[in-house]
Amino acid sequence: MINHIPPSSSANVFLQSLIETTGHLAITWSLRNTKYSWKCLSPTLLRRTAKEACPDRTDAFTLKYVHLSLFSHLPPWYPACATPHWTPAPPAPLTMPDESAFEKRLQKAIPKINLVNAPKARYFGSKEIGTGVNGSVVQVLVKSANNGLRLALKRCKLDHDREYRAALVRELKIMATGHNNLIKLREAAVFKSEVWMAMDLMRCSVFAVLCVRGLPEEYAVYIVQETLNALMFLHAKGFIHRDVKCENLLIGPNGEVKLADFGLATSSKHVNRERLGTAKWMAPEVIREQPYGEKVDLWSLGITLIEMMDRVPPHYALKKDEAVFEKILEEASPTFTYSYPSVYCNGLVAWLLEENPDNRPSAKDAATEIDAHISQDLLKTTNAQGLAAFVTKTM
C-alpha cells in the first residue's frame, strides 16, 4: 500500500503515470483524506516510476501485493487501438434539421405570408443581384404568375443552432410587417434544409449608384429621410438593425427607398454588447463592446450620409478592421472629405456622430429636425419621382 505521497509537483507526475499504466497490481493511497485505487502494470514499473518522480523520497512509497483473484471479475483495461479486442465506436448518426417543426414556427410567426410547398418548381432564375448576412440574393421569375412577376430570392441554410434560427425568424417577421420603407417579404418556404425568402425586386442599391457617381445633397437628404422612417418603425417595434449602410438601402423603380438585410437585427429589449455590423459603420460603443441600444443605427446613418456624398465612407483606405477601430476610437468624429455639403448638412452629420450615444438624436428627433430645416429652406430635398429620374439618368 502507498501510505504517503509527498506534496510536490513531481508527485503529480507520478500520479498521472499511475492513471496511464495497466495491469493487475492494486494500489491505493490517501490524499487529503480521499482514497483512490487503480490497477498497475507491474511492481517493477511502479518502483521505477516512483523513483524517477521522487528520487529523494522513494522511502515514502510502500507496495503491497494483492492476490489476482480479487480482480478476476473485472475485465482487463486496454489502451485505445493497442489490441485486436478494441472496436472503434460508430460515428454519430447524421441528423437533419427538423423542417416540419421550423415550418410550423414560421406559420405562427408570419401568418399572413404564403409558405410555398414546392419552391424549386415555382421560381426560375439564378442571376445574382446581391449578398446578405445569411446568404446571396438572386433574381427569379415566378413561373405560375401570369404577369411575369419577378422577385428577389434569398436562400439560407437551416441548421440546429437556436440563435441562428431565431435570427432567421426575426428577419422574416420584420420583412413581413409590410412597412413602406422596409423590403417586403412576399413568400417563404422551407425546402431541403434551407429557408427561401422571396422579396420585392428593387431597381438597385444606393451603393450601385455610388459606383457611378456621388449623390447631390438633396438626394442624399431624401434618402436619409426615408431611412429614418424605417428606423422609427423598427425602433418602435423593439428592433435594432445594426448594419445601416448604402449596400442595404435599396431604390425601387418609382424612387421608393427601402431598408434591407435584417440578418444582424436584434431585439432592443435585452442587453446587446456584441461587436456586430460592418467595421467602418460601427458606433464607438459597439467597438468597445459596451451595452448599446437603437442609437447605434443613428451613428451608422451619419456614416452613410457621408458615404452617399463622398462616395466612400470615412477611413475607406484602411483595410484591416483593427486599424479602423483604432481610428474611430482615437480620432474625432468623422466628417465630409470629398464633397461640399451645406452648413446644416454638416451640422446634421455632427449630431448623428456624437460619440456619446446619450447626446445622439433618436430617429424621431432627427426626422423632426430635418423636416424643420427643410420647411425653413435651410436644407434641400427631393421626392420619389425626383430620385427615380436621377437614378435613370445616372444608371
Q: What share of the chain is helix, strand, coil (3-state, %, to 5)?
A: 40, 15, 45
Of 185, 200, 215, the last residue of a domain is: 200
Q: Any idea which of 160-169, 249-258, 347-356 has the lowest mean pLDDT?
A: 160-169
pLDDT of 315 above 80: yes
Q: Does 35 map to a domain?
A: yes
pLDDT of 146 above 70: no
Q: Do 147 and 237 belong together in one domain?
A: no
Q: Does 363 map to a domain?
A: yes
> Rounded to the nearest 10 degrees, how much is the dihedral formed by the CA atoms of 360, 361, 367, 368?
-130
The pLDDT assigned to 159 comes to 83
pLDDT of 22 above 50: no
Average pLDDT over residues 184-196: 94
The pLDDT assigned to 131 comes to 79
Q: Does 87 map to a domain?
A: no
pLDDT confidence tier of residue 394, bands split at 50, 70 and 90: very high
Q: Do 15 and 119 belong together in one domain?
A: no
Q: Do 258 and 364 belong together in one domain?
A: yes
Domain that holds residue 35: 9-71
Task: Verify whether residue 243 is a known catalytic residue.
Answer: yes
Of 148, 174, 200, the last residue of a domain is: 200
Q: Do 337 and 359 belong together in one domain?
A: yes
pLDDT confidence tier of residue 89, bands split at 50, 70 and 90: confident
The pLDDT assigned to 32 comes to 41
Mean pLDDT estimate for the chain: 85
Q: What percent of the chain has pLDDT over 70?
A: 76
Average pLDDT over residues 321-348: 97
The pLDDT assigned to 99 comes to 81
Contact 149, 141 (CB under 8 A): yes
Q: Do 354 and 242 belong together in one domain?
A: yes
Of 71, 25, 75, 67, nearest to 50 by C-alpha is: 25
Q: Do 231 and 360 belong together in one domain?
A: yes
Long-range contacts of 135-138 (CB under 8 A, 24+ apart): 137/199
Average pLDDT over residues 224-249: 98
Of residues 311 and 70, more confidence is placed in 311
Average pLDDT over residues 210-229: 98
CATH of the domain at 266: 1.10.510.10
Average pLDDT over residues 70-92: 65
The pLDDT assigned to 67 comes to 61
What is the Cα 16 distance to its own chain's centre? 42
The pLDDT assigned to 93 comes to 66
pLDDT of 14 above 60: no
Q: Does 91 map to a domain?
A: no
Q: How far apart are CA 48 and CA 31, in angstroms?
A: 21
Buried b / exposed e over 141-166, threshold 16 CB at 10 Å, is ebeeeeeeeebbbbbbebeeeeeebe
Q: Do 55 and 114 belong together in one domain?
A: no
pLDDT of 259 above 90: yes
pLDDT of 228 above 80: yes
pLDDT of 235 above 70: yes
Q: What percent of the chain has pLDDT over 90?
A: 67
Q: Does 296 map to a domain?
A: yes
Give the range with max mean pLDDT: 78-82, 126-130, 370-374. Answer: 370-374
Which residue bears the cell 417586403? 184
Q: Do 217 and 184 belong together in one domain?
A: no
Long-range contacts of 158-164 (CB under 8 A, 24+ apart): 158/97, 158/99, 158/102, 158/190, 158/193, 158/194, 158/195, 159/97, 159/193, 160/95, 160/97
Of residues 17 and 361, more confidence is placed in 361
Of residues 296 and 21, more confidence is placed in 296
Give the Å distances, CA to CA, from 20 to 2, 78, 197, 364, 374.
17, 10, 55, 68, 79
pLDDT confidence tier of residue 30, bands split at 50, 70 and 90: very low
Q: Do 183 and 224 belong together in one domain?
A: no
Average pLDDT over residues 360-385: 97
pLDDT confidence tier of residue 86, bands split at 50, 70 and 90: low
Average pLDDT over residues 150-171: 91
**Active-site choice (243, 261, 297, 310):** 243
The pLDDT assigned to 77 comes to 63
pLDDT of 49 above 90: no
The reply to whether 154 sits in an annotated binding site is yes
CATH of the domain at 160: 3.30.200.20
Of 71, 89, 112, the last residue of a domain is: 71
The pLDDT assigned to 56 comes to 60
The pLDDT assigned to 21 comes to 45
